[in-house]
């Protein structure tokens, strides 16, 4: 499960082992500036759950909180988050195209 948040791409796809879904958050931020390196953070084994949906929700919420704390931002609501299509992931090193919402303009 992928989503975007404040320029970060969050992969909250859980791992399945021993009959449980393990929540993980993999965060990547790609810079459009050739002179600035991208960033990556991986947080593994946040907790385990009976369903994939529970694991995804916890991983995404953890990632949103981490990004806000790291960037000293206030949390947003689900309606203001970036829509993200994993099929639009860059294949050639170019940043992904981003569909903006009117509320995105307020946070720049």
Exposure of 47 by Cβ count < 10 A (0-12 exposed, 13-18 middle, 19+ buried)?
A: middle
Residue 25 within a domain = yes
DSSP three-state, residue 63: helix
Model confidence at 8: pLDDT above 70:
yes
Counted domains in the chain: 1
Q: For residue 74, tell me if it sits in a domain.
A: yes
Contact status, residue 84 vs residue 3, Cβ threshold 8 Å = yes
**Residue 52, SS3?**
helix
Q: Which residues contact 43 (CB under 8 A, 6 or more apart)?
A: 24, 25, 26, 27, 59, 62, 63, 66
Does residue 104 fall inside a structural domain?
no
Domain region containing 37: 2-97
Question: Which residue has better confidence, 30 or 11?
Answer: 11
The model's pLDDT over 20-33, given as tens digits with 9 standing for 90+, comes to 999 999 999 887 77
Instruction: Report the predicted TM-score, pTM, of the whole model to 2 decimal places.
Output: 0.64
Is pLDDT of 47 > 60? yes
Residue 105 lies in a domain: no
In a domain, 65, yes or no: yes
């Amino acid at each position: 499960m992928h989503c975007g948040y404040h320029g970060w791409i969050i992969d909250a796809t859980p791992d399945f082992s021993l009959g449980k879904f393990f929540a993980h958050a993999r965060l990547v931020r790609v810079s459009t500036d050739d002179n600035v390196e991208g960033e990556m953070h991986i947080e593994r084994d946040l907790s385990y759950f009976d369903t994939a949906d529970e694991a995804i929700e916890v991983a995404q919420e953890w990632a949103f909180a981490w990004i806000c704390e790291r960037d000293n931002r206030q949390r947003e609501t689900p309606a203001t988050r970036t829509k993200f299509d994993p099929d639009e992931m860059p294949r050639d090193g170019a940043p992904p195209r981003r569909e903006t919402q009117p509320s995105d303009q307020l946070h720049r």
